[in-house]
Chain A
Amino acid sequence: MSPARRATIEFLLDNLVWLMLIVVLAVFSLTVPNYFQFGIFANIFEQSTFVGVMAIGLAIVIIAGNLDLSVESTAALSAMVTGMLFSSSGVGMGIAFEPAWLMPVVSLLIALAVGGIIGFINGFFVTRVGMSAFIVTLASFIWVRGLVVAISGGRSAQNLAPPIRIIGMEDILGVPLLAWISVGCFVIFAFVMAKTPFGRYITLVGGNQDATFRAGINSNRILWTSFVVAGVLAGLAGWLLAIRTSGATANLGVGMLFNAFAAVVIGGVSLKGGIGKLPGVYAGVLLLYSIHTAINLMGLPAHFTQMILGGLVLAAVLLDTFKLRLREKLL
């Protein structure tokens, strides 16, 4: 095989998920009434924000060779804390202060801190106590959601303070600001993962932790940091979610973990660790929400929605598996 052909095939296989996204968008645009319009594409960007930001953290932990099942509950806790502090109805305390521009900053820092603390706890048990990440984060998935119910009493916080809520209402070039925030996160973390020592260490630790340790890299610290980063990003997702829904309910974010996992896998991140790139994950998230949006617009009976969505996710993952086999065969 000529080097040029090999490079072309490699490029196509590396970016297959983007190709899939384009095909899916084209098919839906041609077949689903009202799908092909700028507003719908802006909606897809906006709706993929929360799972997208969550998926970045999840992907980093998975590339580092672990799992984090707690991101959904962490986002819910961060949303509820934001809602309770800065909403004026329901269980909201209605905290407000001047200058108003400081409110989004303070609420964001609190949300990130909430996520960071959960990530820190997860990392501690995995790296210091030596417990399985699956068990530790599964426990966090349960107790953190329990904490959401406990602190809210199962009630909602509503009417988020306007200086914070405005972030969910503004747009730049017709695309909601929330979507730009998730795009920004992907750009920053894609750079971090590809161009910084931390990113390279994450990939190395995920590929072979023992070898990395022998090479003089503090692999435990890298792992622990990956959990904190995942927690902080889940906290950010929760903050954005609270802004989007103008508060928080006790079941906010339920089901997002599985969407985040689907996006990560569709995006080409290996669950065995050491393999994966964040741009692919973003394509995976966009692909998922393109499907969600198409289902929202199609005149399908309500009961079939989950079935169709599951089938399409399976098809996407099968295509990804096919891609890996093709790569082995051709390259």
Chain B
Amino acid sequence: MKIVRRTFIGAAIAGLTLATSAYAQDKGTIYYMVPTLLDEFQTESVSAIENFMGQVGYKVATLNADNKTDVQQGQMDTAILTKPKAIILAAVDFNALAPYIEKAREAGVPVMIFDRQITSTVSDFTSVAGTVEIGHVAAGEIQRLLTEKNGSVKGKVLQVLGDPGDPYTLDIQKGFEEMMADYPDVEIITKPAMQWEASNAGSIVADQLLANPDIDLIFVHAAHLAVAAVASLESAGKKPGDVLLVSSNGAPVGLDLIRQGWEQVEVEQPLYAQAAALAMFADKVTNGEELVPGTYDVLGLKSELTIEDWGPDLKIPGAAITPENVDEARFWGNLQAPEGPIEPVQ
């Protein structure tokens, strides 16, 4: 009995020692506020951020807000109380979280903005592709596709948003429509897929194909909505390429649709680079050091750090994924996380 007890106590002490030494090597905990886990971009962002931050010595605790602003506000309050080294925020609502960013910074907790840009208050670092810019890239590609199909930038485009309460989709819409405003021969029909739910997008496409059989192109704001759109096209007897399809975020399902010929372009949010940038600048942010504007190489992407009214802002270029480049490993939708260690910015 004594032997068992001694063995148990010995193992406990050894475990405690190991845990303590491991903790001593840690630079501390960083909270990641993920808006939802119901889409592939967000799910993969958790793995990427935990992976990259782990490489530079930080432990990441992830809190999921289930797309609810009030839940994320509560999570911010809780996180601030635990005095983490920093908070990474992908906001459910861009404006509603601004006071909580200010609260965290007043409490001495730096806030890094991930993916969903907040310009209404100052934060310590922003790593984004830019949702408005995604709309711009999509518009450029759609102009090209319409020209190839109709000889010039003209035709009918069905734009399927995500939930109309989500600023993310509204920003993409804004970017897209401001770039398309110069082309009066393009008619844009805009409909929201409530709660980003795929079958809602499918229903919109099915109805619109009947009401507007001359739709040239469908632009959906997330790849998982494109899957339902394709199902409706298929049910309506369409073949790949009959109606052009463009989507955004670069999720694996979108890349599969490009390979099958249903989709022509997927505008990627450079998830891995956005996450890696957080890790590259984490030491500087947590130590309160000044960030120097300039061009940085983030996983091979030339990214520009500028100092804006809302703080240091790193813009990472989003890419247009087409049948020609769809298999490149750099796209997060191929789920090949970059190899090699992340080097903190000196």
Binding site for B on A (CB under 8 A): 33-35, 37, 39-40, 43, 46-47, 50, 89-90, 149, 153-156, 158-159, 168-169, 176, 241, 244-247, 249-255, 292-293, 296-297, 299, 302-303, 305-306
Contacts and interface: CB of A to CB of B under 8 A. Distances in A.
B256 A90 contact: yes
Contact of A40 (B165, B210, B234): B210
A195 to B, nearest CB: 33
A296 B199 contact: no
Interface string B38-72: 11101100000000000000000000000000000
Interface stretch (B74-82, B190-198, B290-298, B305-313): B190-198
Given A39-B210, A89-B256, A154 B42 contact: yes
B227 A246 contact: yes
Interface in B237-258: 251-253, 256
A296 B37 contact: no
Contact of B203 (A159, A246, A255, A292): A292
B230 interface: yes
B206 A154 contact: no
A305 B235 contact: no
Interface string B104-124: 000000000000000000000
A156 B195 contact: no
B32 to A, nearest CB: 14
B271 interface: no
B192 A305 contact: yes
B234 A302 contact: no
Nearest to A292: B203
B203 A158 contact: no
B210 A252 contact: no
Nearest to B37: A154
A298 B202 CA distance: 17
Contact of A43 (B196, B210, B224): B210
Interface of B: 36-40, 42-43, 161, 164-165, 189-192, 194-200, 202-204, 206-208, 210-212, 224, 227-228, 230-231, 234-235, 251-253, 256
7 contacts: A153-B43, A245-B227, A246-B231, A249-B224, A251-B36, A254-B38, A305-B191
Contacts of B198: 245, 249, 251-252
A40 B211 CA distance: 8
B17 to A, nearest CB: 34
Nearest to A34: B211
A43 B210 CA distance: 9
- Ranked nearest first, the 4 interchain pairs of A and B with the lowest CB-CB distance are A154-B43, A34-B211, A251-B38, A296-B207
B275 to A, nearest CB: 16
Contact of B197 (A39, A47, A169, A254): A254
A251 B200 CA distance: 11
Contacts of B211: 33-35, 40, 297
A43 B191 contact: no
Contacts of B43: 153-155, 250
A297 B207 contact: yes
Given A246-B231, A306-B165, 6 more contacts: A39-B210, A246-B227, A250-B39, A302-B164, A305-B191, A306-B164
Main secondary structure, interface of A, reads mixed
Nearest to A46: B206
B227 A249 contact: yes
- Which of B197, B210, B252 has the most CB atoms of chain A within a 10 A radius of its CB? B210
Contacts of A89: 252-253, 256
Nearest to A50: B199
A125 B91 CA distance: 38
A93 B224 CA distance: 18
Contacts of B256: 89-90, 158-159
A176 B206 CA distance: 12
B37 A149 contact: yes
A47 B206 contact: yes
B304 to A, nearest CB: 31
Contacts of A158: 227, 253, 256
Nearest to B234: A169
Contacts of B203: 43, 47, 292-293, 296
A38 B235 CA distance: 16
Contacts of A34: 210-212
B213 to A, nearest CB: 10
Given A34-B211, A40-B210, A253 B197 contact: yes
Contacts of A250: 37-39, 43
B199 A244 contact: yes
Contact of A305 (B164, B230, B231): B164
Given A255-B195, A255-B197, A244 B38 contact: no
A247 B194 CA distance: 19
Contact of B235 (A33, A156, A169, A306): A169
Contact of B194 (A154, A245, A255): A255
Contacts of A39: 210
Nearest to B36: A251
Contacts of A254: 38, 195-197
A156 B224 contact: yes
Contacts of B234: 169, 246
A155 B161 contact: no
B235 A253 contact: no
A305 B199 contact: no
Q: Which of A33, A169, A244, A292 has the most CB of B within 10 A?
A: A244
A33 B208 CA distance: 11
A114 B199 CA distance: 21
Contacts of B235: 168-169, 176
Nearest to A289: B203
Contact of B231 (A50, A90, A244): A244
A249 B206 CA distance: 19
Nearest to A171: B235
